[in-house]
Structure 1
Amino acid sequence: MENTHSRPHAVIFPYPLQGHVIPAVHLAIKLASNGFTVTFVNTQAVHHQIIKSQSLDTAMEDNQDINIFGGVCKSSLDIRYVTISDGFPIGFNRSLNHDQFWEGVLHVFPAHVDELVAKLVRSDPPVTCLIADTFFVWPTMIAAKYNLVNVSFWTEPILVLTLYYHIYLLRENGHFASHDNHRQDTIDYIPGVKAIEPKDLMSYLQAAEITSVVHRIIYKAFEEVKRADFILCNTIQELESDTISALQEKQPTYAIGPIFPNRFTKSTVATSLWSEFDCMSWLNTKPNGSILYVSFGSYAHASKRDIEEIANGLSLSKVGFIWVLRPDIVSSDETQILPAGFEDEIKNRGLIVPWCSQIEVISHPAIGGFFTHCGWNSILESMWCGLPLLCYPLLTDQFTNRKLVVDDWKVGLNLCDRFPITKEEVGEKVNCLMSGKSSEELRRNAKKVKNTLESALDREGSSSRNYDRFIENVRATIQEKHGLCFKDSNANL
């Protein structure tokens, strides 16, 4: 019988947003398959939404004991699941009370983290490694207090991390937080970044108001990351090589992406905050490559006007589509967001659903393109499927991600060349994406990027080698900090 103390024990704290929870879940499975005991921590509110989305008995919806990892743990992986309060009641509307909620994440949530970690260091085996999303402001304090290895987990491109990391340079040069208007010339002084235009910075670095709660979180979090023992990134070395190399000169940084569920199939661990509509039977009736997948992610909001223009543009395009339209995409109070008569007009060639399994849908041969908000998970998933992208960024890193997609890798088109967007532009760009000469070039480039992702995850690929080095170095650092000697234990899925 193996002594449980032979396992290193990592606690993982994802940011309480679906786009951050998903890669953290698959990182947890990866670590457990390499012999780690893992404690995965969701907020009670995120857990409640996940359980609710699974359509379990309503009497069980508030049951914090349901383990979302139950399926994978049957395969002998030691993944423990814990939920903690984010400081607000489960029924509190975090979307409508955005600023109040994030003030709580900034000021109240760390106390709940501290209380939990204090228990985990007395568990069997004791927790020895903290893996926290880079946007959290407390990892250094918690890691130092409990003598834990401090791993910062970054779920976006390394370009975005590097820009935040050097926010002081943007400030010094007047491209951010300028008393007058921000400079609009090319930014060419960030280590590892050849050049970037101000319009391609993250939305928070383009904002006139720079004292918001999100800005205060950013300022603190990106000082915190500089104190981490290791930075773990859901990106690919070959796609961002110069930027990664520059950051590696400052701190141990490992690109291990894309972090996907095993064999890129629908995850066995529930991570969706909404009930998923089954699109397969509808897709099975469609010709290969004929359907445009439209989704703007799990978090960002769009204006009612833009949603109406997109709807009318899809109508003009005559292209078949699946549109994932969250009920709260405009706001939690807005119920009528589509133009009158739209659903009747497109009923023979369009399917509108509130949510679906994105991996399952975009893997289907009928899908030929992706109209996206440019969330990083969506970009990685679409590249794995070799799909060209129509880019409609809404918030935060999505504007910078678009730069990578359109300018650097040339696998997508900008929707928003002109503001405001119009139905004519939507219709024209949809057709360019789905057919014709520009579409063929985008598909060729997307196939190259797909090959890069596949190669990175090969046994001798860059992401596999980086991950192995990370595991080796984390284990060595834990042994050094705690005087432990681990057996070489590896479980397999």
Structure 2
Amino acid sequence: MKNIHVLLIPYPAQGHVTSLMEAARCFTSNGLKVTFVNTDFTHKRVMSAWSETDGPSGLMQMVSISDGMEPCDDRNDFGKLTKTMFQLMPTKLEELINDINGKDDEKITCIVADFSMGWVTRVARKMGIRLAVFCPTSAAVLAVIMSLQKLTVDGVINSKGVPLKDQMIHLSTSMPIMNPAYFFWLCMGDPITNQIFYDFLVVDGKEAAEDAVHIICNSAMELETGAFALFPKILPIGPLLATNTSTRQVGHFWHEDSTCLTWLDQQPIRSVIYVAFGSITIFDQQQFEELALALEDTKMPFLWVVRTGTSGDNVDYAYPSGYMDRIGTRGKMVSWAPQQEVLNHPAVACFMSHCGWNSTMEGVSNGVPFLCWPYFADQFFNKTYICDIWKTGLGLKKDDAGVVTRGEIKNKTEELLSNNIIKENALNLQETLMSGLRAGNSSNKNLNKFVDWVKEGNDHM
């Protein structure tokens, strides 16, 4: 019997790859055959960090195509990367699909594309292949993209996505209030990069979302009822977690340091501050030292993910003088952690986070309270969900010089860990979120609905 063959393609950033990889594992466990397409650069990183025991299943193959950039180019320049990909990758993807279909009698009948890779819609249309869109962010972020025309007509933004006045807005009465100054394409860095993201990623993402028959999202109905009410086309199938399939998370760009799990085993229950800011956040030396000294001042055990120059990001921090001697075994620093296992560990008391959506979903799924420190893109809005809507965390504030001081960090940590209401909210939200994955409940039903649609194959072309 032939398998239905689906091609998946993420945007080449860590959170996009890991979440779509978890979706891929859900598909293969439901009998779909998956070809997972990374860029050449990302493919090398993922495969080198992938342990033998976590390798692809028989129904999933990992392939890659060029992102159009030179080997020496800086792929942390997301503006240049995005522009180059959108110009050169469509032809490469078309060639790959033709090559696969020429050799494989199980031809690709559906493409699932990250909404940040909106150019894929034109390839799917040209080749007569059904298209679904994957949303690795909150549904609210995609709701903003799908509301661009309304936002322009209402005078909230101009045709280039720039806010026209200083005002808070509601996309609908059932959605959280939003500050247009923090729309994610305005938080990518410099104005030129912001504009590239708007012109290529946002506008094309809207086209892809409109073209797609289905949009699947790494979220849950119970987390974002307003966004799903506004756009019922978006199907939440989350949280997409490795624990759903009883395996370790895959798709990482770096090797995970599992020694931190042994260290956590030696700490008292709910005593550890877990500090991790994802794959992109970079601090200057002053801010790094403030954070280091704040963690020292708390007198609590802490697990801190510190990406260093060895990760290829040219990040090298100097700890304050004598710091390691003073900290001793109370602090554990690693360059990359098995985050889902860490957050699931009973020793963890709270999560100091950049509020990336994957980290947000992982923290919520484990009932862990947050200390929110957003860095860019959608992270500012995710903080709004955590602090103002779900009330499962507190935000860290910068001083007039733009620094989050050691005093602010220490005080907010103490405030969070003494707040039983926030802890209770976090545990209640965890139960609500995880119940959606059970057979017959919302996320589980949506996943089955989507898989059934894919399996219908050519019947509805």
Q: Which residue of 2 aligns with 1:485?
A: none
1:133 and 2:129 equivalent?
A: no
C-alpha displacement of 1:46: 1.1
Q: Is 1:403 matched up with 2:384?
A: yes
Q: Using a 3 Å threshold, how does the CA distance of structure 1 residues 124 and 80 change in structure 2: closer, same or farther?
A: farther
| SS of match in other structure, 2:116 | coil
Aligned to 1:429: 412
Which of residues 159, 164, 186 is equivalent to 1:204?
A: 186
What's the counterpart of residue 227 of structure 1? Answer: 211
Report the Cα distance in structure 2 between the residues aligned to 1:91 and 1:336, rounded to whole angstroms. 24
Cα RMSD after superposing both structures: 2.7
CA separation of 1:332 and 1:467: change in aligned 2, threshold 3 A: closer
CA gap 1:173/1:328 in 2 versus in 1, 3 angstroms: farther
**Aligned equivalents of 1:125 and 1:234: distance in 2?**
28
User: Residue 360 of structure 2 aligns to a residue in which SS?
Assistant: helix
Q: How does 1:437-456 map to 2 (within 5 A)?
A: 438=419, 440-456=420-436
Name structure 2 gaps, 5 residues minimum.
none
Is the contact between residue 254 and residue 311 of structure 2 (CA under 8 Å) also seen in structure 1? no
Change (3 A) 1:44 1:191: farther
Deviations 1:353-398 (A, max 9, x none): 1111111222211111100000111111111111000000001010
Are 2:93 and 1:105 equivalent residues in the alignment? no
2:221 corresponds, among 214, 237, 250, to 237
Deviates more, 1:132-141 or 1:43-52: 43-52
1:412 to 393, 409, 412: 393
Residue matched to 1:376:
357
When structure 1 is superposed on structure 2, of 193-202 and 309-318 the one drifting more is 193-202
Alignment of 1:17-416 (within 5 A): 17-53=13-49, 70=55, 72-73=57-58, 78-90=59-71, 92-95=73-76, 97-122=77-102, 123-177=104-158, 182-190=164-172, 193=175, 195-198=177-180, 201-202=183-184, 204=186, 209=191, 212-217=195-200, 218-248=202-232, 252-263=233-244, 265-267=246-248, 270-277=250-257, 278-327=259-308, 332-416=313-397
CA distance in 2, matches of 1:476, 1:206: 39
Q: Offset of 1:474 from its aligned partner?
A: 3.1
Shift of 1:99: 3.4
Asked if 1:479 is matched to 2:451, the reply is: no
Q: Deviations over 1:9-50 (max 9, x none)?
A: 110111111111111111111112222111111222112112
Check the 8 A contact 2:4/2:457 in 1, yes or no.
no
Match of 1:469 among 431, 436, 449: 449
What amino acid does structure 1 have at the position aligned with 2:385? L
Aligned counterparts of 2:231 and 2:119: Cα–Cα separation in 1? 22
Contact 1:44 1:90 in 2 (8 A): no
Residues 341/167 of structure 1: CA separation in 2 closer, same or farther (3 Å cut) = farther
- Structure 1's 325 and 181: CA in aligned 2 closer, same or farther, altered over 3 A? same
Cα deviation digits, residues 332-359 of structure 1 (max 9, x gap): 4442343333333222311111111111
TM-score, normalised with respect to structure 1: 0.85
Cα deviation for residue 139 of structure 1 reads 2.2
2:221 and 2:313 map into 1 onto residues whose CA distance is 39
Label 1:283 to 1:349 Cα distance change in 2 as closer, same or farther (>3 A).
same
Change (3 A) 1:53 1:473: closer
Indicate how the Cα distance of structure 1 residues 118 and 183 shifts in structure 2: closer, same or farther if over 3 A, else same. same
SS in 1 for 2:203: helix
1:441-468 per-position Cα deviation (integer Å, ceiling 9, x unaligned): 1110011111111110010210011112
CA offsets, 1:152-208, max 9 Å, x none? 000111111111221333344444349997422220345853532345533626988
Q: Is the 8 A contact 2:308 2:317 kept in 1?
A: no
Deviation at 1:325, TM superposition (A): 0.9
Distance (Å, rounded) in 2 between the aligned partners of 1:133 and 1:191: 28
Cα offset, 1:322, TM superposition? 0.5
Quote how far apart the aligned CAs of 1:224 are.
2.5
Are the counterparts in 1 of residues 109 and 457 from structure 2 also a CA contact under 8 Å?
Answer: no
Pair 329,19 (structure 1): closer, same or farther in 2 beyond 3 Å: farther
| TM-score of the aligned structures, taking structure 2 as reference length | 0.91
The alpha-carbon deviation at position 117 of structure 1 amounts to 1.5
* Alignment CA distance shift 1:260-1:325 (3 Å): same
Identity percentage over the alignment? 29
Distance 1:330 1:181 in 2: 36
The residue type paired with residue 36 of structure 2 is F
Displacement of 1:304 after TM fit? 3.0
Q: Is 113-122 or 7-16 further displaced after alignment?
A: 113-122
Contact 2:157/2:163 (8 A) holds in 1? no
The answer to whether the 8 Å contact 1:456/1:464 transfers is yes
AA matched with 2:47: I
- Within 2, Cα distance between the matches of 1:120 and 1:9? 10
Assess if the C-alpha contact under 8 Å between 2:6 and 2:109 holds in 1.
yes
Question: Could you tell me which amino acid in structure 2 is paired with residue 106 of structure 1?
Answer: F
**Which whole-Å CA distance do the structure 1 matches of 2:293 and 2:157 have between them?**
37
Amino acid at match of 2:290: E
Deviation (angstroms), 1:85: 1.6
Q: 5+ residue gaps in structure 1?
A: 56-66, 482-493
Q: Which amino acid aligns with 1:72?
A: S
Residues in 1 aligned to 2:180 and 2:189: alpha-carbon distance in whole angstroms: 11
Deviation at 1:70, TM superposition (A): 3.8
SS at match of 2:191: coil
SS in 2 for 1:237: coil
For 1:466 and 1:333, how far apart are their aligned partners in 2?
42
Deviates most, 140-149 or 288-297: 140-149
Q: Which residue of structure 2 lines up, in the alignment, with residue 60 of structure 1?
A: none
Letter in 2 for 1:245: A
Query: What is the CA–CA distance in structure 2 between the aligned matches of 1:133 and 1:68, rounded to whole Å?
Result: 27
Amino acid at match of 2:439: R
Which deviates more from structure 2 when the two are superposed, residues 306-315 or residues 193-202?
193-202
Question: What letter is aligned with 2:423?
Answer: R
User: Cα 1:314–1:178, aligned 2, differ >3 Å: closer, same or farther?
Assistant: farther
CA shift digits 1:79-114 (9 cap, x unpaired): 22212221234454312x443322212211222112
Q: Verify the 8 A CA contact 1:200 1:399 in the aligned structure 2.
A: yes
Secondary structure at the counterpart of residue 329 of structure 2: coil
